[in-house]
Structure 1
Amino acid sequence: MAGMNTLPSEIVLNIARFLEPLDIVHLQEVNKRFLALGRDDTLWREQCFTTSPFLENLRRRRKLVSEGSEHDPQLRDLARALATGNGLGESRLTRPREEARDLKARSNERIRRMANWDPSFPDENVNFYDEFIARNAPISTSWLQQPRNRESAQHEYLEIRGMGLYSETGESDSSMVVAPLDDGSVCIWDIAGTRGRKGSIIGRSNSGILFPHEATNTNGPKERSNMISAGVTECVSVDSVRKTAYFAVQDGMTFYLSDLKLFHVLQGRFQDNLVEVDLQTLTAVSREKFPFLITALSEARYPVPLTVGTNLSLYLHDPRSRGQLGQASGLSERVETYDSSFGSLRDARSQDFRSLLNPEPSPVYAHLSQPGPLSILHMPSSGDEWNGNGDVYVAGRFPSILNYDRRYFPKLRGTIYSGARLCALASLPYPFTQMEKDLARRAELSTQQVFEAKTRPGNTLIACGEYNSKGSLEMYGLSPNPHQTTMSSDSFAGSLHNSVLKNRQTSSSSKLLSVSNHGTRIVVSDGSGNLKWLERDGFTVARRWNVAHGSVEAAIGIFGSMGDSYVDSGSGDIVLKLANTHRGQRENLANEDLVLWTGEKIGLLGFSNKPGFTAESFEEKGPQTPEEAHKEREECTYSQTMRQALQANANEVRFMQGLGLGRSHR
């Protein structure tokens, strides 16, 4: 080994190329020099390429073409058409390459294929060592400490009603999670281990600070059932710069008439509140009432105004223009709300709600012709995310994605037709073109064509939801040209057609609930509790996982552990919202945890053999007698056995539904 330590770095790296990934990791333990060489980005980029499904897909297409050539000409032409897939001509795989016999030509061909596979962009900082871990390492889920009810003698667990990530001053990564609880309090967890034990509660407000003052009953407990409306996942927005958080809190009920476009709201009481909470003092500092149910909040990034989506309207909420309402104890003295008639703030009791049903444009808010926005995305118009001049994209229970320019709000700038019911939006600061992605997936682009495709200006809008009861993952290439971003224009509709991908076949057999960027991949969650990582082409699956596996608290399947488990039937918990702890878009995200919210609890998904902690890890338990320990083990065994029995019974029911023919893979 001493002699090897004197070898030039190029020779050491060339030797490392022939080692297995585990051996390369062991090589890093020799000394600091080998540690640096063992983390070489080019080395691990090649390892990611070798273990990716990209090469396997190429081999499958080549086999299909070779088998088709052995049949009659009609079948051969069909096999070639399936391998080519786009009808633009023969694939590179079908044309003989005499020069590939030469060693240099083989090397150039491998470089070209790797360029077609490479998911990174020229100005993107990607650590492929972390990428390899995220693509191949075991997955585990650690559940954060579950808060308890302090006002009850039983101290039962409280449900977590939302989720938002909180970053400390000067940090790009999120180190804390902020969430409302079922008792109206606000709770903060440490997910980085910088302020305490990782996954533990580091702060919690008094109970009831999120409740409207009308919901407080002096003769009994506070109302909890209507705090956050069911089905609203984007109900928390955290402004890390101002150290505040916004919570959408329901106050009363909304009555629907037979015409879904028309709502009748009882005046005076049945409204919805936007509560602003100071995260340093954990007290409510302001409350604003909105006339309709708040269904979505955008990300809060000072000084860009927060976009508030209600059932029938959109508002720009600028925290700098509101009045200071004092601490939580003074909220009952003054409550302010939007007055849609005059564009000012008036007392809630004098609010005229009939004006909100007026179809005439308003200078204060944007009318929605169809109810139900579920996700609001802020996208900058340039590389500066703090200029406040970016676009606002709104998706929900209507068939189109709405686009607003914040400078001309509330005028609608344009729409993108989807046809699906979308519930989550994300973005990438890089261009997207479906045709080039399809050609790259089949390794048909030259290195120059790959470079030109990745250096073209533009952004990518990512959406997910449901189409005909199946999951829909959609990607839209957006042009930075302001004259082309009027999406309702005919000129842009033609260019948009080549940059739209709608994966409604292989994304999921059930509704997609959330989407996020994770390293150089896109991760989605569905209604069966599954997580799926896809490449940036929107089709190639990197790996799958079910939220029930890799967790000590999860039910054990009847077939035991199965590696990257993927259970279409579901396992109980589903991920309503997922987010990456890394906030920078042009930095590597692979080594960061994913934060998962199931509607009741919050977990961290990481890459390790076992969870770092569980919700029970934070419980203070006294010394147990042998009898108590034996009883606890028996209870755990009984619980596991019952879960396995119920799972087996569910499998039998699904089998019988298919009349013994097995499950049909849609």
Structure 2
Amino acid sequence: MARMDDLPSEIILHIAQFLEPLEIVTLQYVSRRFLTLGRDDTLWRERCFTESKFLDSLRRRRELLATEPVQEPRFRDLARALANGNGLGDSRLLQPRKEARDLKEKSNEKIRIMANWDPSYPNEKVQWYDEYIARNAPISIGWMQQPQNKESAQREYLEARGMAVYKPPGESDATLVVAPLDDGSLCLWDINGSRGRKGAIVGRSRPGLLSVDKNPKAEEGRRSKMISTGVTECISIDSARSRAYVAVQSGLVEVDLETLSTMNHERFPFSITALSEAKHPVPLTVGTNLSLYLHDSRKRSSTAHISSDVERLDSYDVQFGSLSNQGSRSFRSLLNPEPSPHYAHLYQPGPLSILHLLSSGSEWDGNGDIYVAGRFPSILNYDRRFFPRLRGTIHSGARLCSMASLPYPFASMEKDLARRGELSMEQVLEFKNRPGKTLIACGEYNSKGSLEMYGLSPNPLDTVISTNVGAGSLQNSVMKNRQTSSSSKLLSVSNHGTRIVASDGGGNLKWLERDGFTETRRWNIAHGSVEAPRGIFGTLGDSYMDSGSGDIALKLISCSSGDADRPINDSELALWTGEKIGLLSFSSKPGFKAEDFEENVKTAEEAHREREERVYAKTMRRALEHQANEVRYVRGLGLGFGMGSP
């Protein structure tokens, strides 16, 4: 009998199709060859398909619409004719042919349905083994080491006021998270263990580095004025130059991440509400309440600190983006409705998210689009070559707070048909090979979540830009999911492998296919379960009364390398709750816990007692909340009083 090692790879892969996923994982330990075969992309792609909710919903839809098994009339009539003879010869002789044709037809139908589901695009590098893990494995969160106030005797914990990911140049295996803290310092965490313990603090600046106080050392222990409330996109990292840009009220502080020292401090006439991605040599786009600016660090002022005697709004130099006594313009000019050649007026305040899109390829060529979304009903589009001239708008109607993009086309009609499994192979290949990009946005519409996707066609470089032209050559491809995305406001959206992940106000994280509707899985931060528990009225996760910590994810960042030569499915996801930073991973246990970083190591008995106390407090709180819900529900029933009667 031949050994398993001597069998052809095709036979081993065929056998693996009949094994359970855990058995295939165990098979990878046999040898190096079995390890390679056990992570075959075709094998795990089919596993992702057969266990997808797309296939479940397709089966349910066909069961509801069809009174008999779905089969095209010509094949059904042929099968009946073969079964009855019907002048076509002996049915017993034709039976093998019929079975062969049926088998081929089933195989072709499976390939067609899988093509309708497949979220990947041609030339997109996907590791389906990692994708299967991200879609089906348990989820856990490890919370980063909490920094403490060094200037206080109580050593109270400090809150993180933002989050960005930093990949030091020359260190392909290093990924750091950077965040400004309450005391005006900048803190760095290691999230993959390349510089020590995973999740631990690896660097922190002096307190007050980001201060905008006139005299931050005037009072001992006084905290600096930090980021304005509600500003999510307050920090941006340029990994190529090791620079961090932090918005502190109306100031923009440039910090060298290698020395943790201030390089420049620019002031703007209004509070900064959003920063774009920082990527050298693309100028940073700075959004304030009423204006937009292109900030190029190469043109910064010669002074690294601005004295207090020139910190006046009426001395803002719009040409250089800094405060100066010379060449200044009147503050009234900022409110002048006439266009300015140096900055863009916003006639409705409140930009919350700024997205840069390259004109073509993956390298900057001096062109590209700028998209701005916020507390206004449209997404604003600018061309960097003609800034600050408004190129066009995309009407949304929602209040958007986060945007992301895909370098692949989006066709709403084809996506809808593919979601129902109605496209042919040729149609799938045709729409996936179209040129174009996808703009993804999320926010709130009539107090409910809104997930929106817009198909953008490529912009010809020789086209004269006009505000009459649609923004970014917008295709007739718009999807607005305001029914099933969330019953509460969506706070952040990001690409995560071949899926889209979004967070909402109920503490839920939802992963959806790239059609924006098909949900692959969900997870709740507060409860730490794969599926959020059902409430008193049987509703799912995003409408129950939270009985946990109440954490929500204000910002999500995928920790993928971004390198085109690497797979896109780096599984970990960094999230910021507004106070602390966590790292979501697909495993039964987190890689680290907050207790791991405590200086005073507790005994096993003390740790067990504290754990029991937390469980008891959580259980009692849940019981009291359920009791309060029942009292509010039954209040006045049968007594003639309304639901809200005292």
CA RMSD, aligned part only? 3.2
Structure-2 separation of matches of 1:657 and 1:30:
64
Q: Measured at CA, do residues 118 and 526 of structure 1 come closer, stay the same or move farther in structure 2, by a change above 3 Å?
A: same
Using the TM superposition, give the Cα deviation of residue 641 of structure 1 relative to its aligned residue in structure 2, in angstroms.
Answer: 3.4
Q: TM-score, normalised by structure 1?
A: 0.84
CA offsets 1:562-599 (integer angstroms, 9 cap, x no match): 9x976644440010000001142755333331000000
The structure-2 alpha-carbon separation of the partners of 1:375 and 1:158, relative to structure 1 and needing over 3 Å to count, comes to: same
Name the CA distance, whole Å, in 1 between partners of 2:19 and 2:602: 49
Does structure 1 residue 47 correspond to structure 2 residue 47? Answer: yes
Compare CA radii of gyration and give the structure with the larger one: 2
Deviations 1:418-445, CA, capped at 9 Å, x for gaps: 0000000000000000000011111111
Partner of 2:361: 383
What is the TM-score normalised by the length of structure 2? 0.87
Aligned to 2:576: 597
Query: Quick one: structure 1 residues 32 and 414, their matched pair in 2 at CA, closer, same or farther if it must change by over 3 Å?
Result: same
Deviations 1:182-228 (A, max 9, x none): 0111000000100010000000111111112415251444344x411
Matched AA of 2:207: S
Any conservation in 2 of the 1:247–1:276 contact (CA below 8 Å)?
Answer: yes
Tell me the equivalent position of 2:642. Answer: none
- CA drift of 1:54 comes to 1.4
Measured at CA, do residues 619 and 324 of structure 1 come closer, stay the same or move farther in structure 2, by a change above 3 Å?
farther
**Alignment match, 2:29:** 29
Could you tell me how far apart the structure 2 residues matched to 1:630 and 1:530 are? 29
- The total of aligned residue pairs comes to 607
**Whole-angstrom distance in 1 between the partners of 2:201 and 2:464:** 45
Aligned partner of 1:522 in structure 2 is 500
| Change in 2 beyond 3 A, CA 1:26/1:625 | closer
Query: Residues 361-376 of structure 1: matches in 2 within 5 Å?
Result: 361-376=339-354
* Contact 1:530-1:568 within 8 A present in 2 as well: no
Query: Does 1:284 find its partner at 2:262?
Result: yes
* Alignment match of 1:347 (pick from 298, 321, 324): 324
Q: Partner letter of residue 227 of structure 2?
A: I
> Which runs of structure 2 are paired with 1:51-70 in the superposition (5 Å)?
51-67=51-67
From the superposition, tell whether residues 48 and 485 of structure 1 become closer, same or farther in structure 2 (CA, over 3 Å). farther
Indicate the residue corresponding to 2:235 in structure 1.
236
Q: Does 1:305 align with 2:254?
A: no
| Separation of aligned partners in 2, 1:625 and 1:52 | 42
Long gaps (5+) in structure 1:
71-91, 251-271, 661-666
Deviation string, structure 1 residues 458-500 (Cα, Å, up to 9, x no partner): 000000000000000000000003389969647x599846300
**Residues 86-165 of structure 1: pairs in structure 2 closer than 5 A:** 97-98=75-76, 102-165=102-165
When structure 1 is superposed on structure 2, of 226-235 and 181-190 the one drifting more is: 226-235
Q: Give the aligned residue type for 1:598.
A: T
Mapped to 1, the partners of 2:524 and 2:73 lie a distance apart of 41
Identity of aligned pairs, percent? 64
1:356 aligns with 2:355: no
Contact 1:336–1:347 (Cα < 8 Å) also in 2: no
User: Deviation per CA, 1:275-318, whole angstroms, max 9, x where unpaired?
Assistant: 11111111112111111110000010000000000000000000
Which segment is superposed worse, 332-341 or 37-46? 332-341
* Larger mean Cα displacement after TM superposition, 204-213 or 412-421: 204-213
Q: Is the 8 A contact 2:139 2:584 kept in 1?
A: yes
Matching residue of 1:450: 428
Q: Distance in 1 between matches of 2:325 and 2:628?
A: 51
Q: Give me the whole-angstrom Cα distance separating, in 1, the residues matched to 2:439 and 2:137.
A: 29
Which shows bigger deviation, 504-513 or 492-501?
492-501
Contact 1:530 1:567 in 2 (8 A): no
State the SS of the aligned residue for 1:155.
coil
For the 8 Å contact 1:174–1:582, the answer to whether it is kept is no
Cα distance in 2 for partners of 1:589, 1:198 equals 22
Shift of 1:23: 1.3
Greater CA drift, 381-390 or 128-137: 381-390
Q: Distance in 2 between matches of 1:605 and 1:658?
A: 45
Distance 1:581 1:56 in 2: 30
Name the CA distance, whole Å, in 2 between partners of 1:341 and 1:168: 33
Mapping for residues 242-321 of structure 1, pairs under 5 Å = 242-250=241-249, 272-321=250-299
Which one scores higher on RCO, CA 8 angstroms, separation ≥ 6?
1
Distance 1:595 1:658 in 2: 46
Tell which deviates more after alignment, 228-237 or 341-350: 341-350
Counterpart code for 1:606:
S
1:19 alignment partner in structure 2? 19
- Are the counterparts in 1 of residues 152 and 221 from structure 2 also a CA contact under 8 Å? no
Q: Shift of the alpha carbon at 1:654?
A: 7.1
**Distance in 1, Cα, partners of 2:386 & 2:473:** 24
Give the Cα separation in 2 of the matches to 1:170 and 1:658.
68
Q: Does 1:609 align with 2:588?
A: yes
Give 1:644 deviation, angstroms: 2.8
1:333 Cα deviation after fit: 9.7
CA change 1:402–1:106 in 2 (3 A) is same
Indicate conservation of the 8 Å contact 1:174/1:583, yes or no: no
Amino acid aligned to 1:9: S
Deviation at 1:52, TM superposition (A): 0.4
Matches within 5 A, 1:329-348: 339-340=316-317, 345-347=322-324
Q: Write the deviation string for residues 217-256 of structure 1: whole angstroms up to 9, x where unpaired.
A: 51444344x4111111000001111111011102xxxxxx
Contact 2:317 2:323 in 1 (8 A): no
Residue 355 of structure 2 aligns to which amino acid in structure 1?
L
- Contact conserved, 1:62 with 1:93, CA < 8 A, in 2? no
**Secondary structure at 1:498 match in 2:** strand
Distance (Å, rounded) in 2 between the aligned partners of 1:399 and 1:658: 42
Residue in structure 2 matched with residue 216 of structure 1 by the alignment? 216
Q: CA deviation at 1:334?
A: 8.5
SS in structure 2 of the partner of residue 146 of structure 1: coil
Inter-CA distance 486–59: structure 2 relative to 1 (3 Å threshold): farther
> Aligned-pair distance for 1:634?
5.3
Amino acid paired to 2:21: P
